[in-house]
Amino acid sequence: MPEGNLRLSVTLLGGMADIPALDWDACAGGDNPFVSHAFLAALERSGSATELTGWLPRHLVVSDDEGKVLAAAPLYLKTHSYGEYVFDWGWAEAYTRAGGRYYPKLQCAVPFTPVTGPRLLVRPDAPGDLRPALAQALADIAKAMKVSSLHVTFPTEAEADCLEQAGFLRRLGFQYHWQNQGYASFDDFLAALSSRRRKQIRKERAAVAAEGLTMATLVGDDIKARHWDAFHRFYEAVVDRKWGSAYLTREFFDELSASPLGKDVVLVWAEDDGEPVAAAFNMMGGDTLYGRTWGAGREVPFLHFEACYYRALDFAIAHGLQRVEAGAQGEHKVSRGYLPVATHSAHWIADPRLRQAVARHVAQERVAMEDAMAEQAEGSPFRECP
């Protein structure tokens, strides 16, 4: 793999255990916890993302002729499309009906984590911009492995540009994020809303307070095994109800807590007379609080909003964070201050016929996504949109 005067070598790893954390994290950076060596290794060691679960690690690493790691990408060989949150079931079904074989495919992503972040990981001191070479290396590997497709999900916008220039098809989606406009308190945030929305949120928070629950925001070492035990029960119940099976094992949360990322875990906790009622799992990174998932042992009106949205804002304001990412789905988030923000994915398709069909689909879908974001933004609760 030549790059200017450099001779670069590309290696596929069988897991995060095959590369030192310092080498990987030198490429991944420290702002996004989900692409860190610790997070990806926890997924593998816990049995959450492995060959048995349909996520066979094939991480890509680019090194110079002295063996120094200059770039990397989290890569998996997949036998299904679960746990991705950029849905291609229709593509797989259409290709299968036409006599093609869609699986296995390659997925450049963080398993079970629909969070925008770097996917083309390059050391800051690498010579030149290696992202185009990394994008080309991904396509070359897909060709060599004779897979139907390669999907890069939730890359940054700049990476999506780079991948599109390398011949990948670009797809648009959106999520709901909250932006901190320099608020000094939650009441300061409320003051920026319309009167109707302000009253709505106060009413919802008061309703939860009237339940008499004990609520706390636990960080790092505050989170004990008993908290994870209860949270994982809640998580399994929610996932089983919505998607059919839980992706993250109970062991994953022990691995996460014991890793260097343990200090960045934020768990919003609710109990009633010592009995766990609900919990919301978040991660801190850079200037952002990432809301990941939640679960509850019983139905309590507005508790989901309190645990997942309002307590997250309380925490972000108190810690000077600039953003809370609440993920996809749920127009109800807009009225609570979480506005639509574009997300991206990029798709390399081997078969020209499937590529042509997918290209038509993503072009039509993009118009619908842009219209939906514009329409929902018009429903902003802010007196003046931030």
Q: What is the pLDDT of residues 78-137, one digit of tens each?
A: 999 999 999 999 999 999 999 999 999 999 999 999 999 999 999 999 998 999 999 999
Nearest Cα residue to 159 out of 190, 135, 140: 135
Give the CATH fold of the 181-321 domain.
Aminopeptidase (3.40.630)
Confidence of residue 245 (pLDDT cuts 50, 70, 90): confident
Long-range contacts of 21-27 (CB under 8 A, 24+ apart): 23/69, 24/69, 24/72, 24/121, 26/69, 26/123, 27/69, 27/70, 27/71, 27/72, 27/121, 27/122, 27/123
Nearest Cα residue to 81 out of 345, 338, 351, 292: 345
For residue range 11-62, list pLDDT tens digits in order. Answer: 999 999 999 999 999 999 999 999 999 999 999 999 999 999 999 999 999 9
pTM assigned to the model? 0.95
pLDDT of residue 261 exceeding 80: yes
171 and 370 in contact (C-beta within 8 Å)? no
42 and 63 in contact (C-beta within 8 Å)? no
Show the tokens assigned to 97: 């009906």
Note the pLDDT of residue 386: 44
d(CA 253, CA 265): 10
Nearest Cα residue to 102 out of 59, 62, 149: 149
Q: State the span(s) of the chain assigned CATH 3.40.630.30.
A: 2-173+341-377, 181-321
Burial label, 103 (beta-carbon count in 10 A; 0-12, 13-18, 19+): middle
Show the tokens assigned to 158: 């700049």
From the candidate CATH numbers 3.10.20.740, 3.40.630.30, 1.10.20.10, 3.40.50.720, the one assigned to the domain spanning 2-173+341-377: 3.40.630.30
Q: How many helices (H) and strands (E) does the chain have?
A: 12, 17
Which residues touch 186 (CB under 8 Å, ≥6 apart)? 310, 313, 314, 317
For residue range 266-292, list pLDDT tens digits in order. Answer: 999 999 999 999 999 999 999 999 999
pLDDT of residue 4 exceeding 60: no
Mean pLDDT within 216-233: 97
Give whole-number Cα distances, 98 to 10, 91, 143, 353, in Å: 34, 11, 20, 10
